Chain A
Amino acid sequence: MASQSGTKPSHPNKGSGSETVQSRRTFLKAAGAGVAGVAGLVAALRPLLELESGQITLSDLLQKHYKELSKDDLDRIMARLTEKCEQEYGVKPNLRDVPAGDGVEFGYALSLTKCVGCRRCAHACLAENNQSRNDEEDINMSYIRVLQMKKGALNVETSDQYYTGEVPSDDTFYMPVQCHQCRESPCTRACPVEATWQEPDGVVVVDYNWCIGCRYCMAACPYDARRFNWGKPKVPQEVVNPNQNYLSNRIRPSGVVEKCTFCLHRTREGRYPACLEVCPTGARVFGNLLDPDSEINYILKNKRVYILKEDSGTLPRFYYFFG
C-alpha cells in the first residue's frame, strides 16, 4: 500500500536549455568522482606489484586434494615443487612421497627421568624438517618445545620454555613436548577443509597445498604442537635438507600450518626420527605399537607411564615415562 503521491504520468518540460547545462554539470561531477574512485582503487591495490611471480599460480589454485590426486598429478606437482625449491632456495631436493607401511602404528615414549633439557632434539628437528628461522639460534618453528619445570608437580604453568644457562639445573626437570599424534585428534576434527588427517600409521599430516591457513587446528591443539608459516619460510641455502617428502619436511609455502610428522620420511623407511637419533641420554624410545616385541611396547608394559593432559581425551600416541 505504497502512497501514490507524485505518480502522475508526465511533467511539462520546462527550460530544456538550463536542463542541459545542469545535466552536463552533473555528468562532469559524476565522471570526476568516478575517475577519483578508480584512481584511489588502483593506488590501494599497488602493493600487489610486489607479489613475486609464481607466488600464486593458476595450477596451484586448481590443484586437487592430496587424496584425490592421481599418480601422474602428484608426479607433475612434485616436479614443479622441485623446480621451485631449486629456484628459490638454491638446492635441488630429492622430493618423494613415501607411503605408510602395512601393519605399522607408530608410538613414541620419552623418559622424564633421563631428559636433561639440552634442546638438541629441538635443533635437530629444525635441521631435518626445513622450518623457517631467522638465525641459527631461532627454534621458534621447531616442532619440539622443551619445558623446564619446577620440581614438586607436573604443572606446565610453572614451566619456562626460554631457559638459558647450564643444564640440567638443580630445582627443575625437563619435559619436551611435540605432536602427540592423537588417536582422537582435535586438530583434524577442527579443520574445515580436511587439509589435515591421520595416516594409516597414525601420523597426523597436513596437505600444505590444500590448507587455507585459518589456524583453527592450532587453536584446537592442547599441546601447542602446530606452527604457522606467517611469511615465506626463511631457510638459508646451506642448511636446506634436500631429502624431502611431500607430506612432511618439504619447504612449506607461506600461510599454511605445519607440524611434527614423527619424521615419516625417515621412520617409514625403518630409520629413527631425527630427535631420537640426536638425544645424548637415550631418553627417547620409538617404535611400532602393533609389534608386541617392540621396545616401545616394552616401555608401555613395564614402566610407569604418564600421559600429558589425559583428561582432554585425545588418546595420544606419545607417552612420557619414569625410569
Chain B
Amino acid sequence: MIRSYLLFLLRCGRVALKGDWRYHGWLAFLFIVSLIGLNAYMKQLVHGLAITDLSNDVSWGVYIANFTFMVGIADAAVMLAIPVYIYRNKSLSDLVIFGQLLAVAAIIMSLAFVVVDLGRPDRFLHLLPGIGKMNFPESMLSWDVIVLNGYLLLSVYICGHLLYSRYKGHEPRAWFYVPFVLFSVFWAVSLHAVTAFLYVGLGGKPFWNTAIVGPRFIASAFVSGPALVILAFQCIRRVTAYKIPDQAILTLRSIVQVAMFVNIFLLLNELFKEFYTDNLHVSAAKYLYFGLHGHYSLVPWIWTAVVFNFTAMILLALPKSRSLRYLNVACCLAIVGIWIEKGMGMVVPGFIPTSLGDITDYTPTFNETLICFGIWAFGLLCYTLFIRMSLPVLEGKFTFSNAGDWKKRDDLRLEESVSRTTNPSA
C-alpha cells in the first residue's frame, strides 16, 4: 500500500519533468526567476528589512499586499467545487482538481509572502502550538496561521485522493472526499474572512476598521480566482490534448460576472460611506484616490484598478465575452485590477496618514520587487508541475495497472502526449 503510493509519487515526479523543449524552456524560465527571487531574499536575510522601503510609518507593504491577494486566489478552488458538489453541474466535475491544485500553489505562495515579511524568519517555530507560544484565540494572526495551514492540508488531501483513485483505476470514493470538499468550501470562506479580520480587528486604523472589508475580500476573491482558472484552462487547451469543454469555461464566466458586479457594488458602498460622510476618517481614502497634502504615490495605481475593473465588468456583462478572446481580456483586466485594489490599494493606505497624522510614501524597492517576482514564479512553477502530473492521470494514461515496467512504459506513453505539451499557464 505505502510502496504503491510512493511509486505513484515517484512516477508523478518523473512525469512532471517530461515535456518538449517549450515545456522545458518554460520550467527553466520559472526556475531562474525563482532563483533570482531567492537570491534577493538571501540579501534581505543578511541585511534585514532595511533594504525594503518599509518604515516605522508604513510597516507593511508589497509582501503583505501579495499575501492578501493570494489568499483570495486560494479561494478559487471552492468556486469550482460549489457548482459540482452543491449544484451537481457535471461539466466541471473533472475540473475541480485544477481549482484545488491552484489552491495548493496559492497557499504555498501566501505562506512564502508571510515568511519574507518576517523580521525573524528563524523564529517561525514560535508560531507553532505546543513548540512555540501561539497567542490563540486572542490574535487574529494566530487564527490565520491555523486556517492557512489547515486549508493547505485539506486541499492537498483532496487533490491526492482524487488523483490517486484515478491512478488506481476506480472512481474516487465519495465518503473519503466529498465531506472534505464540502468542509473545504466552508473553510475557504473562513480563510478569507479571517484574513479580512486581520485588518478589520484593528480599531486604530479607520480605513481597515470597517465591516465591508470581509465581504469585499470574498467578492473580489471570487472574481480573481476563477478568472485565473479560466486563463489556466485556456492554456491547458492550447498546449495539451486534454479536453476542457466550453461549457466549463462559460460556467466559470458566469461566476466571475456575478462576483464582479457584487465586488463593484461593494466598492461603491465603501466610496459612498467615505466621501459622503467626509469626516476625519476619510483621509486614507482621500490619499488613495486623490492624494493628500501633495502626496500622490498611490493615485495612478488605484485609478488603473478602477478602469480595469469597470472595463472588465462591462466586458463580462456583454454577450461578446462568450467569445473566449474577449473573456481572456476581461479576466486579465480583472486580475490586475483586483491585485491593485486589494493589495497595494488596501494595505498601504491603512498606514497613510499614520495614526499620528504623518504622511510617508511607500514604493517597493527593486529588491522587494525581485522577491515578489520570485515567489510568483515559484508559485507558477508549482502549478505547472502539478498540472503536468495530473493530466496523464486524468486522461487514464497513467495508471496503477501499467506500473509493472513503469519507467519504460511512462516514457513511451508520454512521448505521445508530450509532442503537444508545453506550458499550461502562460
A interface list, Cβ under 8 A from B: 1-7, 9-11, 30, 33, 37, 40-41, 43-48, 50-51, 56, 60-61, 65, 140-141, 145, 147, 155-159, 161, 177, 186, 189-195, 210-216, 218-224, 226-232, 253-257, 309, 312-313
Residue from B139, B350, B356 within 8 A of A223 (CB atoms): B356
User: Which A residue's beta carbon lies closest to that of B49?
Assistant: A230
Q: How far is the CA of A37 from the CA of B126 in the complex (A)?
A: 32
Q: Which of B33-41, B147-155, B222-230, B318-326 participates in binding chain A?
A: B33-41
Query: Is B119 part of the contact surface with A, judged by Cβ < 8 Å?
Result: yes
Could you tell me if A155 and B280 are in contact, using CB atoms closer than 8 angstroms? yes
CB proximity of B342 to chain A, nearest CB, Å: 16
Q: How far is the CA of A3 from the CA of B413 in the complex (A)?
A: 14
Q: How far is the CA of A161 from the CA of B57 in the complex (A)?
A: 12
Contacts of B36 in A (CB 8 A): 44
Could you tell me if A255 and B357 are in contact, using CB atoms closer than 8 angstroms? no
Contacts of A157 in B (CB 8 A): 280, 283, 353, 357
Residue from B120, B355, B405 within 8 A of A255 (CB atoms): B120
CB proximity of B238 to chain A, nearest CB, Å: 23
Q: Which of B129-137, B248-256, B308-316 participates in binding chain A?
A: B129-137
Residue from A33, A45, A140, A228 within 8 A of B38 (CB atoms): A45
List 17 interface pairs A-B (beta carbons < 8 Å), by A numbering: A2-B396, A7-B402, A45-B42, A48-B45, A50-B46, A61-B123, A145-B356, A186-B203, A192-B142, A193-B134, A211-B120, A221-B204, A222-B203, A224-B355, A227-B56, A228-B119, A255-B120
Contacts of A309 in B (CB 8 A): 204, 355
Contacts A46-B42, A231-B48, A232-B48 hold; do A186 and B202 have CB atoms under 8 A apart? yes
Given contacts A219-B60, A219-B202, 15 further A-B pairs with CB under 8 A are A7-B401, A10-B405, A40-B31, A50-B46, A51-B45, A155-B280, A210-B123, A210-B133, A213-B119, A214-B114, A222-B355, A230-B55, A231-B50, A255-B118, A256-B120
Contacts A5-B396, A9-B404, A161-B356 hold; do A47 and B280 have CB atoms under 8 A apart? no
Could you tell me if A192 and B145 are in contact, using CB atoms closer than 8 angstroms? yes
Interface range, B side: 35 or more
Contacts A210-B123, A214-B118, A231-B50 hold; do A223 and B355 have CB atoms under 8 A apart? yes
Could you tell me if B46 and A43 are in contact, using CB atoms closer than 8 angstroms? no
Q: How far is the CA of A161 from the CA of B142 in the complex (A)?
A: 34
Residue from B52, B135, B201, B395 within 8 A of A194 (CB atoms): B135
Query: Is B32 part of the contact surface with A, judged by Cβ < 8 Å?
Result: yes
Interchain residue pairs A-B with the least CB separation, the first 3: A213-B119, A222-B204, A255-B119
Contacts of B204 in A (CB 8 A): 186, 220-223, 309, 312
Q: Which of B98-106, B165-173, B262-270 participates in binding chain A?
A: B165-173
Contacts A44-B38, A47-B42, A215-B119 hold; do A4 and B169 have CB atoms under 8 A apart? yes
Contacts of A3 in B (CB 8 A): 395-396
Query: Is B299 part of the contact surface with A, judged by Cβ < 8 Å?
Result: no
Q: How far is the CA of A31 from the CA of B135 in the complex (A)?
A: 47
Could you tell me if A213 and B120 are in contact, using CB atoms closer than 8 angstroms? yes
Query: Is B397 part of the contact surface with A, judged by Cβ < 8 Å?
Result: yes
Q: How far is the CA of A85 from the CA of B61 in the complex (A)?
A: 32
Query: Is B140 part of the contact surface with A, judged by Cβ < 8 Å?
Result: yes
Could you tell me if B135 and A192 are in contact, using CB atoms closer than 8 angstroms? yes
Could you tell me if B133 and A194 are in contact, using CB atoms closer than 8 angstroms? yes
Could you tell me if A212 and B120 are in contact, using CB atoms closer than 8 angstroms? yes
Query: Is B306 part of the contact surface with A, judged by Cβ < 8 Å?
Result: no
Contacts of A145 in B (CB 8 A): 356
CB proximity of A57 to chain B, nearest CB, Å: 10
User: Which A residue's beta carbon lies closest to that of B31?
Assistant: A37
Q: How far is the CA of A212 from the CA of B198 in the complex (A)?
A: 17
Query: Is B205 part of the contact surface with A, judged by Cβ < 8 Å?
Result: yes
User: Which B residue's beta carbon lies closest to that of A192?
Assistant: B141
Could you tell me if B354 and A224 are in contact, using CB atoms closer than 8 angstroms? yes
Q: How far is the CA of A61 from the CA of B56 in the complex (A)?
A: 26
